[in-house]
Homo-oligomer: A and B are copies of this chain.
Amino acid sequence: MNELFDLKKHREEMNKKIFYLQNKQINRLFALDTRAYLDGELSKKIKELLGLISSLILRYDDCDKYHMIRAVQEGCTDCEISETLAIGLIVGSTITVPALRKTEDILSKLRETQSKG
């Protein structure tokens, strides 16, 4: 799917800019962020749902899209995703609605690509 490809490329370019600052603490925090989502006792799939709900609640758009794509890649069903979004909406309130809409938009594009592929 092109959108996934573009988002990845955009993230890589932006991250390069940050690495240009050559600040060790910043670079290490980026490394930690990556490692936290690897398989552990919790599967990558569940960890992506944890990342999804966290970004939804903090209205962190870019990250939200990323975790949605990753959750679908790890095999989450629509129902598993919407149950996660429902908890996010109830804990995070109606202020998460715009993020919720964008998230749903990505999901329907991903499903379209899958049914074509």
For the complex, is A4 an interface residue (Cβ under 8 Å from B)?
A: no
Is A90 a contact of B93 with CB atoms below 8 Å? yes
The A contact surface, by secondary structure, is: helix
The contact of A26 among B15, B62, B77, B89, by CB within 8 Å, is B89
The contact of A85 among B15, B26, B61, B81, by CB within 8 Å, is B26
For the complex, is A33 an interface residue (Cβ under 8 Å from B)?
A: yes
Residues of B within 8 A of A101 (CB): 14-15, 17-18
Residues of B within 8 A of A50 (CB): 49-50, 53, 84, 87-88
Enumerate chain A interface residues (CB-CB to B < 8 A): 14-15, 17-18, 20-26, 28-29, 32-33, 35-37, 40-42, 46-47, 49-51, 53-55, 57-58, 60-63, 77-95, 97-98, 100-101, 104-105, 108
- Give the top 9 A-B pairs by smallest Cβ distance, nearest first: A93-B93, A54-B91, A23-B82, A21-B82, A25-B86, A41-B79, A14-B101, A60-B95, A40-B83
